[in-house]
Amino acid sequence: MEPLLKVENLRIELTTRAGVAPVIDNLSFELGAGESISFVGESGCGKSMTALSIMGLLPEKVGRIASGSITFNGEELTTASPKRLRDIRGNDISMIFQEPMTSLNPVYTVGEQIAEVIRAHQGLSRKAAWNQAVELLDAVRIPNAKGRVSDYPFQMSGGQRQRVMIAIALACEPKILIADEPTTALDVTVQAQIFDLLNDMKRQTGASIIMITHDMGAVAEMAERMIVMYAGRKAEEGPVEQIIEHPRHPYTRGLISCVPHIMSSISQERHALTEVPGIVPSLSDFGQNRCLFASRCNMVTQKCVDERPPEKPFANGQKAACWFAEEV
């Protein structure tokens, strides 16, 4: 069966003061209809840039797709016209951005902002779009939706603003929903509510979800499959439970070891948490023909410094780009 979204050998280049850097380097993955996949990794690893490339929203003048392919329902997006991309955005592929206060317009009510998306893509009248905006606010569990639809973003809490962003993203019943750190800056109780809401929306609409996060606990909560990103490259990919219980890449193992408790199958919480030493390399180091995690890895050898490790396949669809993946 043909995947809903297919990314092949994607390379995204970013122009910086230090020169051109491959912020995404040879990335390939597939997303099936109704599937949930999560991109995980530290800040600066290329997760959000991957999402922006799918949406056709790379930074103008400084960001570009240098090579590779992105196909949605068999249609090539890298060569699509700006008009065609506008038709797809919001209608077929929607995105929940990381910080709702920078995404919502402060001078328009939340109802007007939801209705604007509906009118742009579905051609409904003002009244019909407004009524649908009320229904959407109710669907994302905002109490007294009829009264709150006339509120401005500043009159809502952080959790409520995030629900408004979800309502906007779901307004046209997209086939793919991209959630970029959807629970950043929200307290634990509200985070759980947002995850429950996204899972409910997925079951009701059948949408596929791409979730971007640095939180391994969120991955275990939301995704069926995960991709671990490091320095613009895919470090590991596979089913969530398989990777959490049997990580094949030292970076993945480090991320998991930072979390007290992830899967219900783990009987005891970890009493001693470990850290991943060092930091993500600078953009000027991206693209080098070596393992970019070598300076932070406790298994490093000269081979890691001299050559870029290939992606090795394992059982159950798991893959890892490490010279010592069998030993991790």
Ordered by start, the domain boundaries in the chain are 5-80+208-320
- pLDDT value of position 271: 64
Distance between CA atoms of residues 135 and 117, nearest Å: 14
- Residue 226 β-bridge partners: 38, 238
- pLDDT value of position 225: 97
Per-residue confidence band for 288, with pLDDT thresholds at 50, 70 and 90 = very high
Query: 190 or 83: whose pLDDT is higher?
Result: 83
CATH superfamily of 5-80+208-320: P-loop containing nucleotide triphosphate hydrolases (3.40.50.300)
pLDDT tens digits, 61-109: 899 999 999 999 999 999 999 999 999 998 999 999 878 888 899 999 9
DSSP 174: -
Distance between CA atoms of residues 197 and 188, nearest Å: 14
Q: What pTM was computed for the model?
A: 0.91
- pLDDT value of position 98: 79
What's the whole-number mean pLDDT along residues 27-56? Answer: 95
CB proximity list for 306: less than 8 A, separation 6 or greater: 290
- What is the identity of the amino acid at 143? P
3-state secondary structure of 126: helix
What b/e readout covers 231-265, taking b as 16+ CB neighbours within 10 angstroms?
Answer: bbbbbbbbebbbbbeebbbbbbbbbbeebeebeee
Distance between CA atoms of residues 113 and 165, nearest Å: 10
CB proximity list for 184: less than 8 A, separation 6 or greater: 98, 99
3-state secondary structure of 85: helix
Residue of 304, 296, 305, 249 lying closest to 276 (CA atoms): 296
